[in-house]
Amino acid sequence: MLIFVPFVVLATLSVFSSLQGFVLLAVARKPVYGPREEPWRQVSVLVPCFNEEKVVSKTIDSILASRGVELDRVICVDDGSTDSTLEVLYEAQRRHGDVLLVLSQRNRGKAAALNHALTAVGTEFFVSVDADTQVLPGTLARLLDHFTDPRVAAVSGQMIVGNRRPAQDFVYAAQVREYESANNIERRAFARLRRITVIPGAIGAFRRSAVAEAGGYPEGTLAEDAHLTLALLLNGHLTTHEASATVLTEAPDTMAGLRRQRVRWATGKTQVLLRVAGPALRRGGLAAALWLYLLWNNSILPLVWLPSAVLLPLSTVALLVRGPETVTWVMAVCVLTLAVNWGYLVVSRRFARSLDAAGRAAAGLVEVRTGLRSTAVIPLVGSLATWVAWARILTGQRGGWDKLDRSGDVQVRSFPAEGALDAD
């Protein structure tokens, strides 16, 4: 009967999602051994900017405090900001001298700003850093360690949510927990395959020749970082993750900011997956499997969670009131679903949280408590964002930076000099 369909489908998908998470968690627990050779040390840093007057100066200061590398240039590109970002950049250039190069262009988007910066890169390796993100002194050096393997084209770093005065505590807690999970479970698991699927714009290191082979940062989507990463993988390169290359980044801590962030992410990721579908499927093998994994988890499965918040309770009640013959198996399915999902939630959070706990404490960041609202907000907002993303794509709507408001309260200076964040 039709009344059984939503109950069975939603319960099955919920359990499948948690079982998939258990697999990633098991892989993530295994150590990923780093390089042993003497690494490269000369590097350029790219900082794309659009309306970053509150944050970019501290970001530049943190980059220039890096140790263990030779900074060729820090290249900041102002993408037609409407605030005083360009003036802040010129003031920083006066303070720091020739090591800081300031470029400007009319507003063309983040990918275009990064490609503009690439024209000034004179080193084989470069690091991209978002203007609201601050690096630790040893972060750049630890990223470069992996390029001793000539097959590695890009390396992701470890992002910690660094907001110090969150506007809405439950949104902040949700962001902290999700960043922990993404970094310490999914990225660590895919690092075992050397197939990180997104080298984030907030912190990522790249081999310039591999990026040039891919044609630079692809333009025309809202997820240039994901697009470039998949282009590198489809060209046969490897991508990996360095858990000790830590940065503090500012994350949205209001519902309005979270919604805008997730709509941009969902739209961008789906745009990218549709654009690379042909090359990925023609290549077959692991490339096709990764594409299917990303399509399912980023653009299809999230569609379920918002309707399930309504349909699953309603279908459960409807089945229970039909009579005693359905009560036993309905309750059994509910108990099994809750047990699997709750078990994964507890185990995964404990594991992911333990790996970032020392870094958060060393940074003086407040401990967060995760309640029901903070647990539910990410999947529900993510589901809504995925529905909006598909609607935008199917109707041909375009998007830009969709800048989030910055608080400027991220501060890296309270970290100890070295050692507090070394990964296991």
Q: Rounded mean pLDDT of 395-404?
A: 71
pLDDT at 238: 97
Q: Rounded mean pLDDT of 348-359?
A: 88
pLDDT at 37: 59
SS (H, E, C) the chain: CCCHHHHHHHHHHHHHHHHHHHHHHHHHCCCCCCCCCCCCCEEEEEEEECCCCCCHHHHHHHHHCCCCCEEEEEEEEEECCCCCHHHHHHHHHHHHHHHEEEEEECCCCHHHHHHHHHCCCCCCEEEEECCCEEECCCHHHHHHHHHHCCCEEEEEEEEEECCCCCCCHHHHHHHHHHHHHHHHHHHHHHHHHCECCCCCCCEEEEEHHHHHHCCCCCCCCCCHHHHHHHHHHHCCCEEEEEEEEEEEECCCCCHHHHHHHHHHHHHHHHHHHHHCHHHHHHHCHHHHHHHHHHHHHHHHCHHHHHHHHHHHHHHHHHHHCCCHHHHHHHHHHHHHHHHHHHHHHHHHHHHHHHHHHHHHHHCCCCCCCCCHHHHHHHHHHHHHHHHHHHHHHHCCCCCCCCCCCCCCCCCCCCCCCCCCCCCC
Average pLDDT, the chain: 88
Domain count, the chain: 1
Query: What is the Cα–Cα distance from 247 to 357, expressed in whole angstroms?
Result: 14
How many other C-beta atoms lie within 10 A of the C-beta of residue 173? 23
Specify if 266 maps to a domain: no
Specify if 273 maps to a domain: no
Specify if 264 maps to a domain: no
Q: Which amino acid is at 63?
A: I
pLDDT at 306: 86
- What's the token pair of residue 341? 């999902």
Q: Rounded mean pLDDT of 3-31?
A: 80
Specify if 152 maps to a domain: yes
Query: What is the Cα–Cα distance from 58 to 107, expressed in whole angstroms?
Result: 23
Range with the poorest average pLDDT among 18-27, 104-113, 195-204, 238-247:
18-27
Bridge partner residues of 238 (DSSP): 152
Range of the domain at 202: 42-252
Query: Which of 348-358 are b and which e, b meaning 16 or more Cβ less than 10 Å from the residue's Cβ?
Result: bbebbbebbee
Specify if 144 maps to a domain: yes
pLDDT at 262 > cutoff 90: yes
pLDDT at 423 > cutoff 50: no
Instruction: Give the domain CATH number at 177.
Output: 3.90.550.10
pLDDT at 420 > cutoff 50: no
pTM of the entire predicted model: 0.89
pLDDT at 120 > cutoff 90: yes
What sign does the CA torsion over 113, 232, 400, 412 have? Answer: negative
Query: What is the Cα–Cα distance from 334 to 139, expressed in whole angstroms?
Result: 45
Specify if 422 maps to a domain: no
pLDDT at 404: 67
Half-sphere exposure of 8 (CA within 13 A, CB side): 7
Task: Find the helix packing angle between 302-320 and 4-28, rounded to 10°.
Answer: 130
Bridge partner residues of 247 (DSSP): 135, 159
Specify if 227 maps to a domain: yes
pLDDT at 320 > cutoff 90: no
